[in-house]
Structure 1
Amino acid sequence: MPESPIRKLMPYAEIAKKSGKTIHYLNIGQPDIETPKVALDAVKNNDLSILSYSPSQGFETYLEKLSAYYKKNQIPLHPDEILVTTGGSEALLFAMGCITDPGDEVIIPEPFYANYNGFATASGVRVRAVESKLENNFALPPIAEFEKLINPNTKAILICNPGNPTGYLYTKDEIEQLADLALKHDIFILADEVYREFAYDGAKHYSIMQVERLAEHAIMIDSVSKRYSMCGARIGCIASKNKELITNAMKFAQARLSPPTFAQIAAEAALDTDDAYFNEVISEYVERRNTLVEGLKSIKDVKVAVPKGAFYCTVELPVEDSEDFAKWLLSEYEVNGETIMVAPAAGFYSTPNTGINQIRIAYVLEKEIILKAIHILKLALQDYPN
């Protein structure tokens, strides 16, 4: 199993913390936005006398409310086309288990969410990467590049929309191109849409589930973690109109018994969150993004892709090895007792020796801390011996 580039440097952070340093964690997508009160109150005020199993597919009431939420977002899904999972991670593992056998292949535009490598490894699946470029904000690579890799072992194309670690938001035209390719070669499109709400600059998220002709070939992964700042709830779902896919996913759901009960109660209540919550959150993230991008662009020889969604930014640094730099930041560097933790980007690629001078920054901290982090990064690049 590959190590997580997001978490692998935590031992360095722990040592730095024990030495008295203040660390600003830009490595992980853990928002500092408060979880909706309605979700927390649903757990606090619950009068359950037995904390029992839920149904393997999730509570019926939650599935019905999820269906209504999706329909509100122009995604027509019935409750029986959705299975509740223990986070989006389990949904991805279920999907891999349903559509692949060991030795099969999945094509993914890189850089991509690092754990896709882990899920593929756990399923005995080979990742075939199509590289997207920082120079055009990591837009979808040409369809011809995907088609070159398709062979009898190809089972799916996996995308994250909006993207982690790039923040790229795929256009409707790009999604339609992928749909045409999937139908042409009879493969699945597996779409990780956990950042759906976070689309900026007037852009709209276009779901793979909105492509009607792709009904039998589309699988959507979702989660409450980022949407409601509920990362610790570990509630997600897998959704598809392909009945055979859902039937087989149910086997995996039964094998792990059930998703967590209290977390489902919180997730169901979170669906009652007022739209004003998202308006405020999106406005906050846009301000943080603008602050980060503007600050990074002011640093000599730093290149940055401008994210259109999610809350991540992929940055190219004037260093040879960003992992060495990230370790040095934690173990040997500080500015007035403070330093930053970033995620080396090589772990978001499957192609060897790619992205080794890049990092991912999660702009999940308040604006004042982002400004401080930029200042530390600028000074660190001037002082870094390598």
Structure 2
Amino acid sequence: MPKISNKGREMPESPIRKLVPFAEAAVKKGRKIYQLNIGQPDIKTPKSALDAVKNHNIEVLSYSHSAGFDTYREKLAGYYQKTALPVEKEDIIITTGGSEALLFAMGSITDPGDEVIIPEPFYANYNGFATASGVKIKPIRASIEDSFALPPISEFEKLITEKTKAILICNPGNPTGYLYTLEEVKQLADLALKHDIFIVSDEVYREFAYEGAQHHSIMSLPELAENAIMVDSVSKRYSMCGARIGCLVSKNKEVMSTAMKFAQARLSPPTFAQIASEAALDTPQEYFDEVIEQYTFRRNLLVEGLEKIEGVRVAKPNGAFYCIAELPVEDTDDFARWLLESFEDNNETVMVAPAAGFYSTPDTGKNQVRIAYVLKKEDLERSISILEKALKEYKLQN
């Protein structure tokens, strides 16, 4: 029998999606599942985006330019300029989701065996992107004790070798919701310049900052122009996860010309989704104000509810719409499966994402879960109640 690749064997499962078969089985039993495991907002997609597709009179659904629609890139550059980022149309390549932008970035700046330093816990798919690119992740541990703030720069410097090509951050963070301060961003920039490496900043949650906090983009530092690569997406900003439209942004012309070769190899990003994404840029500020207000309320509701559960510790996020919670269990993988297979409260249960998959260091985060507060008030309140009852019952059985 032919053998699959070592790369395929080493490709990690998604901690977010690997429990789907258990959830499907629970649904077949007639159970209702409150999905706290995945960042799929229930906020409505802007009507302008949906109408742009609905009302478009396309006769031939053709390719776009490999870099994306010229009109979209021009308009997107204008959006960034409004947030004081010196981005021009030529600095942007439209991608099939932020995921493809990350793959283009890794393909453009690393070779097999190279290293990328990432504060952990981090977005689980970074593990998969690194495996697909033959890149080794050098993790540096952030701690729930300080809400997953940037670890000391001295710890980053200890990990830098001749194989280090970049530091990758997510700002605000998935899965932690941590929002980096300007001082932290500048510290990373100084380190990148000192060692002549890249900073790749995943900023898909850049619109989600709470209580007056400000997002500081890696692209805002002019001295870092040749070292900065930004990844962005419409998925969360406009509640358009299914559009699969993102972008790669950099002032470094060699990076962009290299990334363009990867873009050409996959031909072009999807046409209808670009039409929707371009129209979404006309979304008024009122939409974002309401969304931020809603997520701030949901965050407070969730964090306060979790803090009342005996044995639970949670880091309060300042951005995105996730938090990491420590539970009074030894193995949240087992607990998450048990929630779906064996537990119900009035025929309802919850689905969480075990946090071990958000770490690269083995046997780390095994008592943690990521929770996405993307559900309405009543569903979040019910989820907290179910989780509290489940923890009590699980403790009695183990």
Q: Which amino acid aligns with 1:28?
A: I
Give me the TM-score of the superposition, normalised by structure 2.
0.97
1:31-50 aligned at under 5 Å gives the runs: 31-50=41-60
Q: Distance in 2 between matches of 1:42 and 1:360?
A: 35
Given residue 294 of structure 2, which amino acid in structure 1 is its aligned partner?
A: E
Output the amino acid matched with 1:87: G
Shift of 1:162: 0.1
Q: How does 1:1-386 map to 2 (within 5 A)?
A: 1-384=11-394, 385-386=397-398
Partner secondary structure for residue 205 of structure 2: coil
Deviation at 1:364, TM superposition (A): 0.4
Specify the code of the residue in structure 2 equivalent to 1:215: A
Q: Secondary structure at the match of 1:221?
A: strand
Distance 2:215 2:378 in 1: 29
3-state SS in 1 of match to 2:174: coil
Q: CA deviation at 1:57?
A: 0.3
SS of residue matched to 1:246:
helix
The one-character-per-residue Cα deviations of 1:104-139 (angstroms, maximum 9, x if unpaired) are: 000000000000000000000000000000010000
Q: Distance in 1 between matches of 2:391 and 2:35?
A: 18
Question: 3-state SS of the aligned residue for 1:263?
Answer: helix
Q: Which amino acid aligns with 2:55?
A: N
The structural deviation recorded for 1:367 is 1.1
In the comparison of the two structures, how many residue pairs are matched?
Answer: 386
> Deviation at 1:201?
1.2
Equivalent-residue separation in structure 2 for 1:90 and 1:367 (angstroms): 33
How far, CA to CA, are the matches of 1:272 and 1:305 in structure 2? 34
Gaps of 5+ in 1: none
SS in 1 for 2:392: helix
Give, in whole Å, the separation in 2 of the partners of 1:161 and 1:7. 23
Q: Which runs of 4+ in 1 moved over 2 A?
A: none
Letter in 1 for 2:272: F
Counterparts of 1:150 and 1:211 in 2: how far apart (Å)? 22
* Cα separation, 1, equivalents of 2:92 and 2:50: 24
What is the alpha-carbon distance in structure 1 between the residues aligned to residue 99 and residue 83 of structure 2?
23
Letter in 2 for 1:320: E
Mapped to 1, the partners of 2:183 and 2:217 lie a distance apart of 11
How far apart, in 1, do the equivalents of 2:276 and 2:149 lie?
35
**1:197 match: secondary structure:** coil
Distance in 1, matches of 2:84 and 2:366, equals 39
Measure the CA separation in 1 of the matches of 2:359 and 2:30. 34
Question: 3-state DSSP class of the match of 1:219?
Answer: strand
Aligned-residue offset at 1:263: 0.1
Instruction: Name the residue aligned to 2:7.
Output: none
Using the size of structure 1 for normalisation, the TM-score is: 1.00
Q: Which residue of 1 aligns with 2:3?
A: none
| Partner Cα distance (1:2, 1:99) in 2 | 22
C-alpha distance in 2 between matches for 1:212 and 1:316: 39
Identity rate of aligned residues, in percent? 71
Unaligned runs of 5+ in 2: 1-10
Q: Structure 2: how far apart are the matches of 1:81 and 1:319?
A: 47
Q: Distance in 1 between matches of 2:325 and 2:19?
A: 18
Structure-1 separation of matches of 2:301 and 2:258: 46
Cα distance in structure 2, aligned partners of 1:380 and 1:258: 47
CA distance in 2: counterparts of 1:355 and 1:252, whole angstroms: 35
Q: Measure the CA separation in 2 of the matches of 1:143 and 1:70.
A: 28
1:108 and 1:127 mapped to 2: Cα distance?
A: 7
CA offsets 1:149-180 (integer angstroms, 9 cap, x no match): 00000000000000000000000000000000
Letter of the 1:217 partner, please give it. Answer: N
Q: Distance in 1 between matches of 2:307 and 2:58?
A: 53
Hey, what's the Cα distance between the residues in 2 that align with 1:261 and 1:358?
40
- What do you get for the CA RMSD once the two structures are aligned? 0.3
1:59 maps to a residue whose letter is F
Matches of 2:107 and 2:100, distance apart in 1: 10
Secondary structure, counterpart of 1:156 in structure 2: strand
Q: What is the letter of the counterpart of residue 333 of structure 1?
A: F
